[in-house]
Structures are given as structure tokens and as C-alpha cells.
Chains A and B, each alone.
Chain A
């Protein structure tokens, strides 16, 4: 399964090993791991709760992975995104891409993250000392995704 939405944590090296297992053509693996920070917009964050739209989230991320496969010569791609309540230091998201050479993997990995941030239906709610607040979409994320159009 190239796309997994789950509450459980993930093991980065095990996932990378599985993705390139038995494929001697793979010469490059690029990965990105997103982590929960303890500070956002100047306030301390005690926890982060991720909501998603079951069904559409999987469908949209699969669409983004399919688009990456069309744009670059990559062998495989994996996206794991956690949902539910997470704490600072926790891993949120993993993107792994395999290819023959590094250029394709680097680009596809960044593309997948930029599109995940702007197109996949996930929403973050932070717990701060002032209470819960929904995270606002960032213009810089939209600008990052625009680079690929």
C-alpha cells in the first residue's frame, strides 16, 4: 500500500527497507519525516490533534502519488500520515521515494510533501496554554505548491 493513514507510529528504516526490498535498480532513496514541534506562532503547543476525511484523504494522496510517478522516473513511493492526538517530538508524516538517481527522488519527495500540505484533507488543532485552536493554512505552503505547476 503506497498510502497509509494511521494512528500508530512508524519505523522509518523498516519502511525504507521494505520499499526497496529486492530491487537492485534502486540507487537512491529520499525520505522526509515531519515532526510535531512544541512551538507554533509564538505559543507553546502541548499536543496536536489531526483530523482527516476518511476516504477522500486516501484518494487525494493516491492521486498525488500517481502524479509524482508521471512526472519523474521513480520506482516506488510511500506516504504514511498519522491522525489522532500527537505530542511534541512525535513523528507525523513520512514520505519515501526510490529511484535510480538522486535527482528524481529528491524532487518527487519535495513535490509529494508540498502537495500533501495543500491538497490532502487533514486539519491540525493545537492545544496551547490558551486552549485549543485550529491551525491556519499558510500562504508559504501554497507558494511552495505553486512551484510545481
Chain B
């Protein structure tokens, strides 16, 4: 293991459907920022980017989240290596 791998925890974040279009981004890798231990805190960090991040991930927007392909919520812990997905309520079938 390289010296900095132990302390650098990275998550992969995916965005789908209208959220992907509104954010102009399908996926990104993010070093978990200081103070981010839960999905709720991660969403707050993303909103703090401002502009469409603040509005699209803001209160009143119906956004769901999954961690490692299981549905999650604001209290779900965030840790390195996770795949985290934000998306609108589903409309299949």
C-alpha cells in the first residue's frame, strides 16, 4: 500500500435521470471531505457547491440515494470504496 492510500478514502458517486441532466454529470470520484460521515452530510457538502447543486439536491426535491446498490437514507454511514447513487423516484414498469 502506498503511504497516502490508508488515509485517502474515495467514493464513487453516480447520478441518474433528470438529476444527471440537471447536474451535467453522470459520475464522479470524490475524496471523502472532512466532516462527512453520513449520506446527509455528503448531500450537504454537494449542495455547498452552489448553483444547480444547491437547487437540485435541495429540500423539496425528491431525490433517493443508494449505497453499494442498496437503498439508503441520510443516516447511512459513508466510507471509502462505496458506490453512492443519487436519483429521482423510480418510474419503471
Which residues from chain A sit less than 8 Å from chain B, CB to CB?
34, 50-53, 55-56, 59-60, 81, 92-93, 113, 116-125, 134-138, 141
Chain A residues closer than 8 Å to B16, beta-carbon distance:
51, 53, 121, 123
Main secondary structure of the interface of B (DSSP, over half): loop
Report 25 cross-chain contacts, Cβ distance below 8 Å, ordered by A residue: A51-B16, A53-B66, A53-B87, A55-B69, A56-B69, A56-B85, A59-B69, A81-B93, A92-B93, A113-B93, A116-B93, A117-B91, A120-B93, A121-B85, A121-B90, A122-B91, A122-B92, A123-B92, A124-B91, A134-B17, A137-B62, A137-B88, A137-B91, A138-B91, A141-B93
* Selected contact of A116 from candidates B62, B71, B92, CB within 8 Å: B92
Look across to chain A and name the residue whose beta carbon is closest to the beta carbon of B87.
A121
Interface pair A121/B66, CB less than 8 Å apart: yes
* Docked complex Cα distance between A34 and B62 (Å): 25
Interface pair B91/A53, CB less than 8 Å apart: no
Give the Cβ gap from A77 to chain B, nearest Cβ, in Å. Answer: 15
Interface residue B14 (Cβ < 8 Å from any Cβ of A): yes
Chain A residues closer than 8 Å to B66, beta-carbon distance:
53, 56, 121
